[in-house]
Structure 1
Amino acid sequence: MLFRLPLVYFLAAALLLSALIGFLPAEPASAESSSSPPKAAPVVVIPVHQTVENGLQTFLQRALQEAQAMGAYYVVLDVDTLGGRVDSAQEIGQLIKNSPVPTIAYVHGKAISAGSYIALNAGKIAMEPGSSLGAAAVVDGAGNEIESVKVVSYWSGQMKAAAELRGRKTQIAEAMVDKNVGVSMPEIGRTVPKGEILTLTAEEALKVGYAEKMAASLQEVVQFIGGEEHPLVSLKPSLAESFARYVTQPWVSTLLLIIGIAGIAIELFVPGFGLPGIIGVLGFGLYFFGHYIAGFAGFEEIALFIAGILLLLIEVFVSSFGILGFLGAACLISGVVLAAYNTKAAAVNLGIAFVVAVVVVAVVVKIFKHRGVWNRFVLREKLTEEKGYVSASSRSDLLGRTGKAVTPLRPAGTAMFGDERVDVVTVGDFVASGRMVTVTHVEGVRVVVKEVKEP
Structure 2
Amino acid sequence: MTTALLRKMMFLALIIFSSISLITQPPVHSQAEDKVVYFIPIEQAVERGLEAFLKRALDTAEAEGADHIVLEIDTPGGLVDAATNIAFLIKNTETPITAYVTAQALSAGAYIALNADQIVMAPGTTMGSAAVIDGAGNAAEEKTQSMWLATLEAAAGDRDPIYARAMADSSIDLPEYRAGVGELLTLTSSEALEVGYAEAIASDRDELLAFLGLENAIQEGLEVSFAEQIARFVTHPVIIPILLSIGSLGLVLELYSPGFGIPGIMGISALLLFFFGHLFAGFAGFETLILFGAGIILIIIEVFFPGFGIFGILGVIAIIGSMVLASYSTVNILLSILIAVVITVIVSIIFFKYFGYRGPLKRMILTDATKSELGYVSNETRKELIGREGIAMTTLRPSGTANFEGERLDVVSEGGYIEQGKKVVIVATQGSRIVVRELNE
TM-score norm. by structure 1 comes to 0.74
* Aligned partner (choices 144, 152, 155) of residue 151 of structure 1: 144
What does 1:271-290 align with in structure 2 at a 5 Å threshold?
Answer: 271-272=258-259, 274-290=261-277
Aligned counterpart, 1:215? 202
* Aligned partner (choices 146, 156, 165) of residue 163 of structure 1: 156
What does 1:91-170 align with in structure 2 at a 5 Å threshold?
Answer: 91-146=85-140, 148-164=141-157, 167-170=158-161
Does the 8 A contact of 1:171 with 1:183 survive in 2? no
What does 1:374-385 align with in structure 2 at a 5 Å threshold?
Answer: 374=362, 377-380=366-369
Aligned counterpart, 2:326? 339
**Cα 1:201–1:379, aligned 2, differ >3 Å: closer, same or farther?**
closer
For 1:318, the aligned partner's letter is F
Tell me the CA shift for residue 123 of structure 1: 0.4
Does the 8 A contact of 2:243 with 2:270 survive in 1? yes
CA distance in 2, matches of 1:161, 1:384: 80
Rg (Cα) greater in structure:
1
Structure 1 portions without partners, runs of 5+: 1-31, 391-410, 418-422, 429-439, 441-445, 449-455
CA distance in 2, matches of 1:425, 1:313: 56
Structure 2 portions without partners, runs of 5+: 1-27, 378-399, 413-425, 427-431, 435-441
1:372-430 deviation line (CA, Å, top 9, x unaligned): 63585344587989x9x99xxxxxxxxxxxxxxxxxxxx99xxxx9xxxxx997769xx
CA distance in 2, matches of 1:82, 1:38: 34
Aligned counterpart, 2:347? 360
What does 1:257-272 align with in structure 2 at a 5 Å threshold?
Answer: 257-272=244-259
Aligned counterpart, 2:65? 71
Does the 8 A contact of 1:116 with 1:136 survive in 2? yes
Say whether residues 1:204 and 2:197 are aligned partners.
no
* Aligned partner (choices 334, 348, 360) of residue 335 of structure 2: 348
Does the 8 A contact of 1:96 with 1:103 survive in 2? yes
1:110-161 deviation line (CA, Å, top 9, x unaligned): 1110000000000010001111111101122343333x21111111111111
**Cα 1:384–1:63, aligned 2, differ >3 Å: closer, same or farther?**
closer
Give the secondary-structure state (helix, strand or coil) at the position aligned to 1:197. coil
For 1:159, the aligned partner's letter is L
1:282-316 deviation line (CA, Å, top 9, x unaligned): 11111111111111121111111111111111112
CA distance in 2, matches of 1:330, 1:76: 45
Give the secondary-structure state (helix, strand or coil) at the position aligned to 1:101. coil
For 2:219, the aligned partner's letter is L
131-140 vs 116-125, which moves further: 131-140
Give the secondary-structure state (helix, strand or coil) at the position aligned to 1:75. strand
TM-score norm. by structure 2 comes to 0.76
**Cα 1:362–1:205, aligned 2, differ >3 Å: closer, same or farther?**
same
* Aligned partner (choices 231, 234, 257) of residue 244 of structure 1: 231
**Cα 1:37–1:289, aligned 2, differ >3 Å: closer, same or farther?**
farther
Aligned counterpart, 2:168? 177
Tell me the CA shift for residue 172 of structure 1: 1.4
Does the 8 A contact of 1:54 with 1:248 survive in 2? yes
For 2:328, the aligned partner's letter is Y
CA distance in 2, matches of 1:38, 1:124: 19
Does the 8 A contact of 2:35 with 2:214 survive in 1? no
Q: How many residues align?
A: 392
For 2:276, the aligned partner's letter is F
Does the 8 A contact of 1:258 with 1:356 survive in 2? yes
Aligned counterpart, 1:322? 309
For 1:327, the aligned partner's letter is L
CA distance in 1, matches of 2:354, 2:150: 56
Does the 8 A contact of 1:44 with 1:74 survive in 2? yes
CA distance in 2, matches of 1:382, 1:69: 77
Identity %: 44
